Amino acid sequence: MKILSAEFILSAARHDELPRDRLPEVAFAGRSNVGKSSLLNALLHRKHLAKTSSTPGKTRLLNCYRINEAFYFIDLPGYGYARVPVSERQAWGEMAESYITGRPTLRGIVHLLDVRHNPTSQDMEMVTWLLGLQVPFLLVATKSDKLSSSQLGRQLRETHANLAATGDLSILSCSARTGAGLPEIWRWIENII
């Protein structure tokens, strides 16, 4: 995909505050600190469009970016960050959940996992939930630059085996740092939008 323009549009606490022009949307979901905002930046060749941080809990609202005047990326708040007050965690969860179930223009979700770790119970819950909703989603194991190629192969097989109980799922690996796997992610995005 040739990126002609990519701009931040707004942050919303509710999905009905998002743009009403009915352009298709792709959302980025996953655990806090897994690398959602970094992947969004890498896909757009922009270092600082979405704010990233080594501290979990950076993205706290539905952040909306318009690309090529043609579609939106929605950067979702992450889940599973224990050091956030329960009330706030619930609010993020509800925000993401009501966005995913209530947004007709959502075409698909890029769901991130950390390639170094087996999926957490919350990852599994999320995947099961997405499967039940029948929203198209792509499972992506990110930070692949952190592993050697043999470690990467082993870890992907293990993650795949862990997810096999949930459904017949395929999983891509990528790195926001090196750009590995980004063309495959773009191919999927182009297909669903």
Ligand X SMILES: Nc1nc2c(ncn2[C@@H]2O[C@H](COP(=O)(O)OP(=O)(O)OP(=O)(O)O)[C@@H](O)[C@H]2O)c(=O)[nH]1
Binding site for ligand X (CB under 6 A): 32-38, 52-54, 56-59, 77-78, 142-143, 145-146, 175-177
- Give whichever of 31 and 107 is closer to ligand X, judged by the CB atom: 31
Where does this chain bind Mg ion (CB under 5 A)? 36-37, 58-59
CA–CA dist 4, 27 (Å, integer): 20
The partner in contact with residue 143, picked from ligand X, Mg ion, none with C-beta cut-offs of 5 to 8 angstroms by kind, is ligand X
**Cβ pair 45, 18 in contact under 8 A:** no
Kindly state the smallest distance separating residue 161's Cβ from Mg ion, in Å. 28
- Please give the order of strands across the beta sheet that includes 171-173: 6-12, 62-67, 71-75, 25-30, 106-114, 137-142, 171-173
Question: How far, CA to CA in Å, does 56 sit from each of 34, 36, 51, 52, 78?
Answer: 8, 11, 12, 9, 8
The partner in contact with residue 33, picked from ligand X, Mg ion, none with C-beta cut-offs of 5 to 8 angstroms by kind, is ligand X
Kindly state the smallest distance separating residue 112's Cβ from Mg ion, in Å. 10
- Give whichever of 87 and 134 is closer to ligand X, judged by the CB atom: 87
Kindly state the smallest distance separating residue 34's Cβ from Mg ion, in Å. 9
Distance linking the first and last C-alpha atoms of the chain: 12
- Give whichever of 33 and 67 is closer to ligand X, judged by the CB atom: 33
